[in-house]
Amino acid sequence: MVILKKSLLVAILVIFSMATSPIGAHFDPPGQPAVQVNVYFIGMSLSEDMDDGANGYADIIGTYKVTHSGHGTKDGKIDMFYYDWDTLKGKNGYIKKRLLYSHKECSPIKPITVEVGMEEHNTIFSNTQLGSGSITVTKPGIYEIKLDKGKALIEVKVTPAVLYSEKCSYFYDQPPSYASSLVSSSGGYIYDWQLANMIHMWIANRTGYANMVFIFNQCFGGGMIDDLKEKLKGTGDAAFLSASKHDEPAWGLGDDYNPDAFPEVKGKGFEKPEGFYPKEVGEELAKTGKDAPTIKELARRAEMEDIKGPYGLWKKDIERPQYTSVGRGDSIKIGKKADGSDVKSRHAILFAGDADSKRHWNNLDRAYKALKKHGFTDTDIIVLAGNGKTMPDGTNVPGYVDGPGTKKALYEAIVNVSKKMNKNEQLVFWVSDHGNRERIELSILKDIIDPVRQPVPPKRTARRPEQVSWDLDEEFLKVVKLDPDNQPYVSILVEATPEVVEYGEKMFRNIVLYMNGQMLELTMVEPIIAYDGEPDLDAFELVYYMDEELLGEENLIEVEWAGDPEMFIEYTILGLMISTGGINELEAEPVEAVEEQTLFELLKEYVPVYNENADNLPGFIKRIAGNERIDLEISLENGSVLNVGIVTEGGYITEFSKGRISEPTMRAWTDEEVARRIISSEDPMSTATNALKMGEIRYSGVGFGRTLRVFVFKVVIKVYRVVEVIGDLFG
């Protein structure tokens, strides 16, 4: 890049001292995020001299056809441009971009096939065919299309189209072989299917509701939605939001965040550690009256403002907020039915199970205060967080916290709220802090009828027939390593038969699991309620912690009775899970966004490089450019003008300043597109010289003497071109 910029500066100094119609776009959802896709023709190279002798150049014209899979086709002509063989000699010659095709769609972009047919135009004889060719691309970049006598250059450019976010954001359904869960402060986990069964059983199927809103801010939050959506379909109006997809972590700011050290992040409203998505959701949630958004509008705005989202400041390791709904969920507002009328009353459950970071409490506080603005009373809001008593720094929890963020407390809260619900009531269910992702299979129905060690093979989700090992995808294994504090585990669901219930803990201590040959010890036993949609005890979850190093893409899980064989009790395994363990929102290290260098900065940065190489310039250039005051004017793409003053003495640049220079001896004009085309060229000097010949860089002297010298030099260039033409005609 240094060479390119140095050459550009040399070319511009030498040159200065020498003295289309819009194309309509269309749009087809769905996808995420929304992007603007433009296809340009940017130039070509020739493999031989195709000048017909008329003007010293190859006069090239062509046709094109762009086929965008699933969207449409656009064809047309490529107007004449010129290729100077004497300057380029087979190298790529860049021209002003010609827009061939424009389209707004949802990423990832669908395949785009570009076909071109090029020919050298002759005024007397028939045109000479340069050949035709095509290329299919699926990502942005500059591409070459091979022709018989050269190569055509196209560019596919993809940029975010924020205004189309609403049309592109959509819900990614979680595969049936995986589940997500909430982490509690008691160590138990609330799986997506459990929560869905509880909400359906106690509210949707019993009391009814006006509408419900579910907001998941934790890692893998999108995975909590699919089961809820399926259970609530056809029962009423509901909307679902999450900070990230089912297989993605969420992001936030660490406890040591200092807003004054990162003014750009502070400028986005982050005065203290918070999660990125819950902060944006909270701001939208706090809007009342005529400014109050629908839940769909809230989700869209939060997605667009999320600085870790697809349209945010930081493009690496982004989170992809999710939104979907059932019934008329898109029209829900806080305190309102979908038809716009008021609900009779409102209820909320705010849950931050293992809230061990400052951002979790700040997230919670923002959500609580937003609901209070809508008229929620403390009686309307159940807040469960951490241990219910103290925050991580040892201070007391806020007075609005009603209890600990345990699994038992959450289930009790759902039951208690259900007693107040009816078809005129609204429920807001909000979650923050850690989340799990599980490889899951329910309804295994593996009957253990003897005490010998035996595998627990997958059934529905096995990759191959008769597969015994449990498979994990690469992304799952990557996620396990993201959080140094998570604790992966394997668990089995043991059916709560009368005999199992009777012996309970004494029996469970004798059930041993093996992961890839290593014995695991039983860590925790959790009762499973609402496994089958009824409010009774269905099973016990036996949880076995393990080391991350044990996990691989293929995992053999075996079960054995470790007690006295004669005391063996038959039992049935209903399901098995391999979990990442609680993954905390990842802490993003705030980084100041580096603005793209301006054209002036690019040039000024390499003035020393130019001066270091000034002695290598030809003598006649030193004489022409040796002692000048050059007033350079560059028309920028935003409609403004960049003025640059250049002073040379003895061939060296002694002054390079922004703005007009006083008492100039020479003036020059060009535009930003030409300057940047030279920067990106494979041969900046040749491209700059070609731009000069094509009149894309203009120049003149100031005063009679300088004007005469520049005039003489222009005549020399024209004579040189005439000699080139004569050489082409007569060999």
Percentage of the chain beyond pLDDT 90 is 58
Instruction: Tell me which of 133-147, 310-324, 465-479 is least confident.
Output: 310-324
Distance CA 561, CA 553 (A): 26
What pLDDT sits at residue 41?
97
The answer to whether residue 355 scores a pLDDT higher than 60 is yes
What pLDDT sits at residue 619?
53
Distance CA 178, CA 164 (A): 31
State the Cα angle at 121 between 120 and 126, rounded to 5°. 100
Instruction: Tell me which of 18-32, 242-256, 450-464, 608-622 is least confident.
Output: 18-32
The answer to whether residue 319 scores a pLDDT higher than 70 is yes
The answer to whether residue 39 scores a pLDDT higher than 60 is yes
Instruction: Tell me which of 161-175, 487-501, 532-546, 701-715 is least confident.
Output: 701-715
Name which of 669, 673, 601, 593 is nearest 630 in CA terms.
Answer: 669
What pLDDT sits at residue 87?
81
Instruction: Tell me which of 8-17, 574-583, 703-712 is least confident.
Output: 8-17
Phi/psi of residue 457, each to 5°?
Answer: -80, 150
Please report where in the chains the tokens 């469970």 appear, as a residue: 508
Phi/psi of residue 2, each to 5°?
Answer: -60, -40
Summary mean pLDDT of the chain:
86
The answer to whether residue 363 scores a pLDDT higher than 70 is yes
Instruction: Give the model confidence (pLDDT) of 534-553 as tens digits.
Output: 888 999 999 999 999 999 99
Q: Locate 89 and state its tokens.
A: 């000699």
Instruction: Tell me which of 73-77, 267-271, 571-575, 720-724 is least confident.
Output: 720-724
The answer to whether residue 704 scores a pLDDT higher than 60 is no
Over residues 12-32, the mean pLDDT reads 38
Indicate the pLDDT class of residue 728, thresholds 50, 70 and 90.
very low
Percentage of the chain beyond pLDDT 70 is 85
What pLDDT sits at residue 620?
46
Indicate the pLDDT class of residue 462, thresholds 50, 70 and 90.
confident
Contact between 693 and 83 (Cβ < 8 Å): no
Over residues 256-268, the mean pLDDT reads 89
What pLDDT sits at residue 707?
57
What pLDDT sits at residue 586?
83
Instruction: Give the model confidence (pLDDT) of 630-660 as tens digits.
Output: 888 888 887 888 898 989 887 788 888 988 9
Indicate the pLDDT class of residue 493, thresholds 50, 70 and 90.
very high
**First-residue to last-residue Cα distance in the chain:** 39
DSSP letters spanning 572-613? EEEEEEEE---BPPEE----PPPPPPPHHHHHHHTHHHHHHT
Instruction: Tell me which of 114-128, 363-377, 717-731 is least confident.
Output: 717-731
Can you list the pairs that 411-414 forms with residues at least 24 positions away whose Cβ atoms lie under 8 Å? Answer: 411/198, 411/529, 413/349, 413/351, 413/382, 413/384, 414/198, 414/199, 414/202, 414/203, 414/349
Tell which phi-psi region holds residue 156, choosing left (phi > 0), alpha (psi between -120 and 50) or beta.
Answer: beta
Tell me the pairing of strands 511-515 and 628-635.
Answer: unpaired
Indicate the pLDDT class of residue 705, thresholds 50, 70 and 90.
low
What pLDDT sits at residue 721?
45
Tell me the pairing of strands 518-520 and 557-561.
Answer: unpaired
Over residues 702-727, the mean pLDDT reads 50
Distance CA 481, CA 183 (A): 18
3-state secondary structure of 11: helix
What DSSP character marks residue 684?
A: H
Instruction: Give the model confidence (pLDDT) of 111-159 as tens digits.
Output: 999 999 999 998 777 899 999 999 999 999 999 999 999 999 999 998 8
Instruction: Give the model confidence (pLDDT) of 87-104 as tens digits.
Output: 888 988 888 889 999 998
Distance CA 498, CA 503 (A): 9
Residue type, 576: L
The answer to whether residue 621 scores a pLDDT higher than 80 is no
Distance CA 199, CA 410 (A): 11
Indicate the pLDDT class of residue 23, thresholds 50, 70 and 90.
very low
Instruction: Give the model confidence (pLDDT) of 189-244 as tens digits.
Output: 999 999 999 999 999 999 999 999 999 999 999 999 999 999 999 999 999 999 99
The answer to whether residue 723 scores a pLDDT higher than 50 is no
Contact between 591 and 314 (Cβ < 8 Å): yes
Instruction: Give the model confidence (pLDDT) of 398-440 as tens digits.
Output: 999 999 999 999 999 999 999 999 999 999 999 998 999 999 9
Indicate the pLDDT class of residue 297, thresholds 50, 70 and 90.
very high
The answer to whether residue 11 scores a pLDDT higher than 80 is no
Instruction: Tell me which of 2-11, 229-238, 453-462 is least confident.
Output: 2-11
Distance CA 695, CA 331 (A): 58
Contact between 344 and 260 (Cβ < 8 Å): no
Helices (H) and strands (E) in the chain, counts: 18, 35
The CB density around residue 546, as the number of other CB atoms within 10 Å, is: 22
Instruction: Give the model confidence (pLDDT) of 203-212 as tens digits.
Output: 999 999 999 9
